[in-house]
Amino acid sequence: MSDIEKPINFIQEVINTDLEAGTVKKVITRFPPEPNGYLHIGHAKSICVNFGIAEQYGGGCNLRFDDTNPEKEDEEYVNAIIEDVRWLGFQWQGNICYASNYFEQLYAWAQYLINAGSAYICELNANEMREYRGTLTEAGKNSPYRDRPATESLALLEQMKVGEIDEGTMTLRAKIDMASPNINMRDPVMYRIKKISHQRTADKWNIYPSYDFAHGQEDAIEAVSHSICTLEFAANRPLYEWFVANLPLPSRPRQYEFGRLNLNYTITSKRKLKQLVDEGHVAGWDDPRMPTISGLRRRGVSAQSIRDFCDSLAVAKTDGVVDMAQFEHFIRDDLNNNGRRAMCVLNPLLVTLSNCEQDEEFTVPGHPSRDDLGERKLPFGAQIYIDRNDFSEDTSLARKKFKRLVMGDYVRLRGAYIIRADDLVRDASGEIIEIIGSLVPDTVGQDAPEGIRPRGVIHWVSASQSADCKVKLYDRLFNKAAPDTGEESFLEHINPDSLNIIEGCKAEIGLADAVAGDHYQFEREGYFTRDSDSDTLVFNCTIGLRDNWKS
């Protein structure tokens, strides 16, 4: 289906209406992550929606960091987010924006609301504020400080700002409606005291704005026309609109919400992902088992497959859970089309070909249907490695059941000769350590001679000219479709077999120069990329050739 034929979503309908009515001249969106962790696959959908909408309408998308909570934020996260957005193939308009760029203006607007009688300094502590707020079925009650004179609130706010007031003793609250059925409107906190150094403003501020107070005003400063959020912010929209209506802003942005991406067998809470990292359940934010964009990148998932997956999802007003198999379909499809072919023997067994008289080199395609991916050279000699699982002593095995090498029978080597297994060499314990075999002459690229019928085709590498490597096989991090439901901790559903490290693997020699980020299909094994976090030759399995997961 072409882009023209795709049905438009409700956000596009809104934008089309705004453009036709002339209420919007240029479509400006924004992606506003808080730098308190790495981005994950759920953020990828938001990135694709916000940047994609801007691209579609010839507008722009701002990358803005909501750095209003220095207690949990770090420059490491800022840099990781920038890298992720750029790697996904998107470019923000202008310079990167930060909430901290607007701290002076936000403070001035806070003073404006106090002077207008719409904000006040409250001295209720956190527990008292919770009691006064009421419940979903009971109205709240006014703070005893709600009618504090503006001059007094202004003076106290300044004292809070310069660090003269202790943390937890005062907040600045908007004066809205303590009986509102929407708890977010019951005099929400605009500023709280946090005597913590900020990664960009250092120790200049001792108070920091809440996200709800900063969000809409940042949008207004940046002339955002359509502030597109995920559905959990729907209840915050009336507050967003209240601030927009009650402040002298340079523009009047609007907020719209769509369903977030929820993927089964996955956790996307940044707090819980951080817990996995901090407690050592994974090797870091970019562990290839993590649903973070950096983890997916290190695992070998391409940016294009993530974008294609996100673009396939509905932009709707409801939440839903997407099956992991749907995401994996896009990964496989992309890698099948774009991954270079290669051979790697994970469990090597030596084969000596008694009648091989000279070394050779075969030329094979880099991809069976992509001439642009070139060719590769395969050295061949008297000794090769095949996978131990591709050999059996059991001569009674039916050909339909075991299409590999059997004693006294034939098999074809991928891109090379037909060979036969003639004899075995065992160690003192009786384990097979070598196959003595023979090759059938003139069978490279040729049909088998009359009377010889190979069982199948297997992969191999040269014993003398191969690359020693390690392979990491990954499975889903959780073995429960909804690991974050139920009374038990999500940690109890960590899959103990999510990582299997195989040492002593043998790869075709050309893979010695493999680059992290390049994609390979190891024939009959899966799709792999070189690990970016290792000085030695290590390959991460991106995904298997087919879905073997049993729910």
Active site residues: 34, 260, 270
Residue indicated by tokens 């007094």: 152
DSSP structure class, residue 154: H
Could you give phi then psi for residue 331, rounded to 5 degrees?
Answer: -65, -50
H or E element: which one contains 377?
strand 375-380
Cα 19 to the center of its chain, rounded Å? 33
Distance CA 497, CA 161 (A): 51
Cα 297 to the center of its chain, rounded Å? 8
Distance CA 45, CA 64 (A): 17
Strand ranges (E), 1-156:
28-31, 60-65, 97-98, 119-122
Distance CA 113, CA 129 (A): 20
Sequence letter at residue 95: N
Bridge partners of residue 423, in order along the sequence = 436
Return the number of other C-beta atoms located less than 10 Å from residue 16's C-beta.
12
Contact, 411 vs 456, CB < 8 A? Answer: yes
DSSP structure class, residue 177: -
Sequence letter at residue 151: T
Distance CA 434, CA 388 (A): 10
Parallel/antiparallel/unpaired status of strands 254-258 and 226-230: parallel
Sequence letter at residue 11: I
> 215-226 in b/e burial notation, b at 16+ Cβ within 10 A?
bbbbbbbbebbb
Residue indicated by tokens 């005099």: 187
Length of the chain in terms of residues written: 551
Distance CA 189, CA 211 (A): 10
Token representation of residue 544? 């298997």
- Considering only CA atoms, which of 521, 517, 424, 429 is closest in space to residue 87? 517
Bridge partners of residue 191, in order along the sequence = 172, 209
Greatest C-alpha distance within the chain: 103
Return the number of other C-beta atoms located less than 10 Å from residue 300's C-beta.
29
Contact, 340 vs 530, CB < 8 A? Answer: no
Distance CA 242, CA 229 (A): 17
Return the number of other C-beta atoms located less than 10 Å from residue 359's C-beta.
12
Helices 237-246 and 211-221: angle between axes, nearest 10 degrees: 60
Cα 46 to the center of its chain, rounded Å? 12
Burial group, residue 382, by CB count within 10 angstroms (0-12, 13-18, 19+) = middle
Bridge partners of residue 458, in order along the sequence = 413
